[in-house]
Structure 1
Amino acid sequence: MTEPIGVLIVDDEELIRVGLRAIIDAQPDLTVLGEAADGAEVPPLVARLRPDVVLMDVRMPAIDGIQATRRLVAGAPSAPRVLVITTFENDEYVYEALRAGASGFLLKRARPAEVVQAVRVVARGDSLLFPAAVRRLVGAYGRRAGDRLGRAGLTDREAAVLRLMAAGMSNQEVAAELVVGVETVKTHVGNVLAKLGARDRTQAVIAAYESGFVAPSGGAAH
């Protein structure tokens, strides 16, 4: 029997923690391993509990979700996936958390089924990417970070895959668009992440926007 996906809930509002715990523990394949009320508690809890996913509030009084995420993923390739939970999606804090290494974000008003699906998606290593929302965030808060993609040396096919990733396509959808096998797409995605030094698809897409490779309007910039 497969071990359930372990989740750590981090939010300074007890009501939010209680609600998320109830939603997650109601699923046979998910389990809440612990809770924290501030980002400062996250590293020791992660070291002790070894969760697969951290549900991280983006705004907390002492150590916020951005700092906590950055500390968690820095130099730790085996760190758990971080799923930011937020009240407002068009929030600079959300964008900075994604830049810091979060795999995606979830609105606090999300339906229980959406919460469960989000945890499962990031736990299996995929990114919870909302193309329209990320474009808005980049348009509002993004900044040019140099020609990171130009230095990465992506092949034409890898560049095409990255553009489709930025459009929010899954591996299966990319495979259908390019008329190749899913395993081939996975190889290309892996190469893109490695060349960009990106932890997952979210960081790769943000790098594409900030390098001007993909325009916030959704089209290719060059």
Structure 2
Amino acid sequence: RCEAQGIARNLERFETAFMVCFWSTALHRIHKVSKTIQSGTVDVLLVRDLYGSLEEYFVSERNNFSYFEELGMKITKTETYDSYEKDTSRQTKRKVWPDETRSEEVNLTGRDDLRINTFLPILDSFICEFKRRKVAYSDFVDKFYFLTQLCDSKTDINITEEELRNKATKLHQIYQNDLDSDFIEECIHFQKHCAVGMDNPSDKTLEGISTFLRKN
């Protein structure tokens, strides 16, 4: 019974309501992006941009602490910011050692404690992680995305021969032990084939090109 009462008290805390609102919002945004990324037709460029959007989204959320406070107050049916447990409970004082003074201690309010020690660190972790993923996909896009531009169902050729040669050369320099010596000319040849040998627009999609390459 005492354990149940303790759990009930924790669930009724303003801090709990705040975190429920915050995590619900954050995880909903992440889930939406994850579903898009896991779809079968997603493009690496879109994945990079989606991770970038999450990074920027959580950067902007750093300024929205008050918004989640208001949501928490609606759940707990409170109308002031004085509902933090740290502000209403008896505070224990830490033992001061001989080389310390009380003036050196920083006493944060319940609001500042939640914002500085919980809310912002969680957001900063999200920001760092999604920035890391965005950078990883940006590196991948810089190296390989030109291969998706060899054919385009609307414009026939979506990258100039000069651009193609430059990008193919850079890729070959990075993976010289894995790519054939004629990789650059092969890319240019395939670009021309896309322009004159693929009349069906569906053949010029990524799926169509992938099917063609596997068969040939």
TM-score by length of 2: 0.26
Structure (1 or 2) with the greater strand fraction: 1
Structure (1 or 2) with the greater helix fraction: 2
Structure number with the bigger relative contact order (C-alpha 8 A, sep ≥ 6) is 2
Question: Which structure is larger by alpha-carbon Rg, 1 or 2?
Answer: 2
TM-score by length of 1: 0.25
